[in-house]
Structure 1
Protein backbone atom coordinates (compact mmCIF):
# COMPACT_ATOMS: atom_id res chain seq x y z
CA UNK A 1 0.00 0.00 0.00
CA UNK A 2 1.03 3.61 -0.51
CA UNK A 3 0.53 6.75 1.58
CA UNK A 4 1.83 10.29 1.17
CA UNK A 5 2.21 13.06 3.70
CA UNK A 6 3.24 16.57 2.76
CA UNK A 7 2.61 20.28 2.77
CA UNK A 8 0.72 20.44 -0.52
CA UNK A 9 -2.83 20.66 0.90
CA UNK A 10 -2.80 21.72 4.55
CA UNK A 11 -0.47 24.68 4.90
CA UNK A 12 -0.31 28.44 4.90
CA UNK A 13 2.09 30.91 3.30
CA UNK A 14 3.39 33.96 5.10
CA UNK A 15 6.04 36.32 3.71
CA UNK A 16 6.94 33.78 1.02
CA UNK A 17 7.45 30.90 3.47
CA UNK A 18 5.23 27.80 3.40
CA UNK A 19 4.32 26.46 6.84
CA UNK A 20 3.25 22.82 7.04
CA UNK A 21 0.46 21.42 9.19
CA UNK A 22 2.95 18.76 10.39
CA UNK A 23 4.47 19.84 13.69
CA UNK A 24 7.90 18.83 14.97
CA UNK A 25 7.25 17.62 18.54
CA UNK A 26 10.76 18.63 19.66
CA UNK A 27 10.44 22.28 18.66
CA UNK A 28 6.67 22.73 18.50
CA UNK A 29 7.17 24.41 15.10
CA UNK A 30 6.00 23.38 11.64
CA UNK A 31 8.25 20.88 9.86
CA UNK A 32 10.54 22.43 7.25
CA UNK A 33 12.79 21.01 4.55
CA UNK A 34 10.39 18.42 3.12
CA UNK A 35 7.54 18.88 0.65
CA UNK A 36 6.30 15.29 0.68
CA UNK A 37 7.05 11.76 1.83
CA UNK A 38 5.57 8.73 0.11
CA UNK A 39 5.82 5.33 1.77
CA UNK A 40 5.23 1.92 0.19
CA UNK A 41 4.70 -0.90 2.70
CA UNK A 42 2.65 -4.07 3.16
CA UNK A 43 -0.07 -2.30 5.22
CA UNK A 44 -2.01 0.93 4.67
CA UNK A 45 -1.94 1.93 8.34
CA UNK A 46 1.83 1.46 8.47
CA UNK A 47 2.38 3.51 5.30
CA UNK A 48 0.23 6.34 6.66
CA UNK A 49 1.96 6.45 10.04
CA UNK A 50 5.45 6.21 8.54
CA UNK A 51 4.79 8.99 6.00
CA UNK A 52 4.09 11.45 8.81
CA UNK A 53 6.90 10.13 11.01
CA UNK A 54 9.50 10.41 8.22
CA UNK A 55 8.28 13.94 7.44
CA UNK A 56 9.11 14.92 11.01
CA UNK A 57 12.39 12.94 11.12
CA UNK A 58 13.80 14.60 8.02
CA UNK A 59 15.23 13.02 4.89
CA UNK A 60 18.52 11.60 6.17
CA UNK A 61 17.23 10.06 9.39
CA UNK A 62 13.94 9.04 7.76
CA UNK A 63 15.58 7.15 4.90
CA UNK A 64 17.91 5.39 7.35
CA UNK A 65 14.90 4.37 9.46
CA UNK A 66 12.87 3.10 6.47
CA UNK A 67 15.79 1.01 5.23
CA UNK A 68 15.65 -0.97 8.49
CA UNK A 69 12.06 -2.09 7.78
CA UNK A 70 11.61 -5.11 5.48
CA UNK A 71 9.35 -4.55 2.47
CA UNK A 72 9.10 -0.82 3.15
CA UNK A 73 10.29 1.93 0.79
CA UNK A 74 10.27 5.72 0.72
CA UNK A 75 10.30 8.57 -1.77
CA UNK A 76 10.99 12.02 -0.34
CA UNK A 77 10.79 15.36 -2.12
CA UNK A 78 12.66 18.04 -0.25
CA UNK A 79 11.96 21.78 -0.27
CA UNK A 80 14.35 22.20 -3.24
CA UNK A 81 12.44 19.54 -5.24
CA UNK A 82 15.28 17.03 -4.87
CA UNK A 83 14.01 13.44 -5.01
CA UNK A 84 15.46 11.09 -2.41
CA UNK A 85 14.59 7.39 -2.37
CA UNK A 86 15.33 4.49 -0.12
CA UNK A 87 17.89 2.01 -1.41
CA UNK A 88 15.53 -0.53 -3.01
CA UNK A 89 13.09 1.91 -4.64
CA UNK A 90 14.05 2.43 -8.27
CA UNK A 91 12.59 5.27 -10.34
CA UNK A 92 12.57 5.62 -14.10
CA UNK A 93 12.17 9.17 -15.36
CA UNK A 94 10.48 9.44 -18.74
CA UNK A 95 11.64 12.35 -20.96
Structure 2
Protein backbone atom coordinates (compact mmCIF):
# COMPACT_ATOMS: atom_id res chain seq x y z
CA UNK A 1 0.00 0.00 0.00
CA UNK A 2 1.40 3.38 -0.92
CA UNK A 3 1.00 6.37 1.35
CA UNK A 4 2.15 8.86 -1.29
CA UNK A 5 -1.34 10.38 -1.46
CA UNK A 6 -1.15 11.51 2.20
CA UNK A 7 -0.02 15.13 2.53
CA UNK A 8 3.11 15.66 4.65
CA UNK A 9 2.68 16.73 8.24
CA UNK A 10 4.18 20.00 9.42
CA UNK A 11 7.97 19.59 9.60
CA UNK A 12 8.05 16.72 7.10
CA UNK A 13 8.13 18.82 3.95
CA UNK A 14 11.82 18.01 3.40
CA UNK A 15 11.07 14.32 2.85
CA UNK A 16 12.15 13.01 6.24
CA UNK A 17 9.70 10.91 8.17
CA UNK A 18 10.36 12.81 11.38
CA UNK A 19 11.33 9.67 13.28
CA UNK A 20 14.64 8.59 14.76
CA UNK A 21 17.47 7.56 12.49
CA UNK A 22 17.67 3.94 11.34
CA UNK A 23 20.94 3.51 13.26
CA UNK A 24 19.30 4.65 16.49
CA UNK A 25 16.32 2.35 15.96
CA UNK A 26 18.65 -0.59 15.25
CA UNK A 27 20.72 0.18 18.37
CA UNK A 28 17.66 0.37 20.60
CA UNK A 29 16.32 -2.88 19.14
CA UNK A 30 19.61 -4.71 19.72
CA UNK A 31 19.82 -3.42 23.29
CA UNK A 32 16.23 -4.48 24.00
CA UNK A 33 16.90 -7.98 22.66
CA UNK A 34 20.11 -8.30 24.70
CA UNK A 35 18.39 -7.07 27.87
CA UNK A 36 15.60 -9.59 27.35
CA UNK A 37 18.13 -12.39 26.85
CA UNK A 38 19.95 -11.43 30.07
CA UNK A 39 16.66 -11.43 31.98
CA UNK A 40 15.72 -14.88 30.61
CA UNK A 41 19.12 -16.34 31.54
CA UNK A 42 18.82 -14.88 35.04
CA UNK A 43 15.30 -16.23 35.45
CA UNK A 44 16.28 -19.73 34.35
CA UNK A 45 19.47 -19.94 36.39
CA UNK A 46 18.42 -18.20 39.60
CA UNK A 47 14.71 -17.70 40.05
CA UNK A 48 13.56 -21.08 38.74
CA UNK A 49 16.25 -22.91 40.72
CA UNK A 50 14.99 -21.23 43.89
CA UNK A 51 11.64 -22.94 43.34
CA UNK A 52 13.32 -26.34 43.43
CA UNK A 53 15.21 -25.40 46.58
CA UNK A 54 11.95 -24.20 48.16
CA UNK A 55 10.50 -27.69 47.68
CA UNK A 56 13.09 -29.03 50.11
CA UNK A 57 12.80 -26.10 52.51
CA UNK A 58 8.98 -26.24 52.65
CA UNK A 59 8.61 -30.01 52.92
CA UNK A 60 6.03 -31.31 55.41
CA UNK A 61 7.13 -32.40 58.85
CA UNK A 62 8.48 -35.93 58.88
CA UNK A 63 9.51 -36.00 55.21
CA UNK A 64 13.20 -36.61 54.67
CA UNK A 65 15.22 -34.59 52.17
CA UNK A 66 15.77 -37.65 49.97
CA UNK A 67 11.98 -38.14 49.74
CA UNK A 68 11.49 -34.72 48.10
CA UNK A 69 11.36 -34.54 44.33
CA UNK A 70 11.06 -31.38 42.24
CA UNK A 71 9.72 -32.12 38.76
CA UNK A 72 9.88 -29.58 35.94
CA UNK A 73 6.57 -28.44 34.48
CA UNK A 74 6.17 -26.33 31.37
CA UNK A 75 2.86 -24.59 32.12
CA UNK A 76 3.33 -22.49 34.15
CA UNK A 77 7.11 -22.78 33.96
CA UNK A 78 8.61 -23.93 37.21
CA UNK A 79 8.83 -26.94 39.48
CA UNK A 80 6.10 -29.09 40.99
CA UNK A 81 7.00 -30.45 44.41
CA UNK A 82 6.36 -34.11 45.16
CA UNK A 83 6.84 -35.72 48.56
CA UNK A 84 7.03 -39.47 49.16
CA UNK A 85 5.00 -40.63 52.15
CA UNK A 86 5.64 -43.62 54.39
CA UNK A 87 3.66 -45.85 52.00
CA UNK A 88 5.83 -44.66 49.09
CA UNK A 89 2.84 -42.85 47.64
CA UNK A 90 3.54 -39.48 46.15
CA UNK A 91 1.69 -36.47 47.50
CA UNK A 92 1.62 -33.47 45.18
CA UNK A 93 1.91 -29.96 46.54
Tell me whether the two structures share a fold, i.e. TM-score over 0.5. no
Q: Look at both structures and tell me which one has the larger radius of gyration over its CA atoms.
A: 2
Q: TM-score, normalised by structure 1?
A: 0.23
Ranked by relative contact order (alpha carbons within 8 Å, sequence separation 6 or more), the top structure is: 1
Query: Which is helix-richer, 1 or 2?
Result: 2
